[in-house]
Amino acid sequence: MTALQQKPRSTAPDERRVVERRRKKVSAGTALVYVSAFALALLWLVPLLWALSTSLKTETEASLGQDIHWIPENWSLEGYRVLFERGDHLNWMINSTIVSTIVTVLTLVLCVLAAYGFSRFDFPGKKVVFAAIIAGLMVPPQALIIPLFDIVTAMNLADTYWGLALPQVVAPVMVFILKRFFDAVPRDYEEAAKLDGAGHLRVLWSVIVPLSGPIMAAVGIFTFIGSWNNFLWPLLIATDPSMMTLPVGLGVVAGGYGLFYAQNMAAAVLGALPLLIVFLIFQKQIVKGVAGVGLK
């Protein structure tokens, strides 16, 4: 009995050595990955820091290109003050927020319904319809500008939020992503809900949607960012400066005031700030959604 009790104690140091060796191997193997990730993050951060630094300079200091320095000699919020005094920048941000929110909500609703239908139902022509949706991934958005413009103008939706938002709702790639995720959801949950008398919409809302939180958050954030940064379609359909979105306003109207570096950088910082806040709030859901982790 004594020998049997002492045997695990004698193997414990060997097991610890094996674990330590594995840790050393993992740390050595991941060191290059961490260094590369840090270098890429720094490369992405440098332009943002330069924009922030320039926005906090006076216009005179920002216009001097001979002496380039990161830290402002005279800290100033003049660029931000001028933007808010003009008033158009705040209006453009409101327009971008409204349009991006409409696009995100409608895209999620339509894509979830379509993906659930393709994932759970069999109907005539299912493969043909789904193949047509996948084929839509190969159609560049620029090829649809003219017919979409004719339709929106014929419906008198130019210079309206619906005219800005509706043509951006179509997202075949989101239908494909959500369908692949729904295919991996076990049907046992649905069968249990149907035994309790739940219909298809109830199953979708009470079972599928809660299990798909991370992937839906990722799809929603990417849709919101894509709509926020969209320039071509709002440029064509919004001729009234009061209905312009932020990218269009900065690219078209702001240039009419002249070339002011501090103000332009302040506008760029304010334009990127909402996206940064949204990403920081939902970063865990985005990572889980991209990694495909939704079921536990």
The answer to whether the CB of 158 falls within 8 A of the CB of 237 is yes
**Which residues, other chains included, contact 137 with Cβ-Cβ below 8 Å and sequence gap of 6+?**
172, 173, 176
Q: From the options 1.10.3720.10, 3.30.1440.10, 3.40.50.720, 3.40.50.12160, give the CATH code of 87-291.
A: 1.10.3720.10
Quote the tokens at residue 201.
């919409």
Distance, in Å, from the CA atom of 26 to the CA atom of 23, rounded to the nearest integer, reads: 5
DSSP letter assigned to residue 250: I
* Residues 18-27 pLDDT 10s: 555 555 555 6
* Residues 70-115 pLDDT 10s: 777 778 787 788 777 776 778 888 899 999 999 999 999 998 888 8
User: What pTM value is reported for the model?
Assistant: 0.75
Mean model confidence pLDDT for the chain = 78
Distance, in Å, from the CA atom of 181 to the CA atom of 119, rounded to the nearest integer, reads: 9
> Binning pLDDT at 50, 70 and 90, where does residue 2 land?
very low
Distance, in Å, from the CA atom of 283 to the CA atom of 72, rounded to the nearest integer, reads: 32
* Residues 174-218 pLDDT 10s: 888 888 888 887 777 777 777 777 777 787 887 888 888 778 888
Tokens 């327009």, residue located? 95
Backbone angles phi, psi at 69, to 5 degrees: -145, 150
Mean local confidence (pLDDT), 230-256? 80
Q: Is 212 helix (H, G, I), strand (E, B) or coil?
A: coil
> Binning pLDDT at 50, 70 and 90, where does residue 295 land?
very low
Most confident among 48-57, 61-70, 180-189, 233-242 (mean pLDDT): 233-242
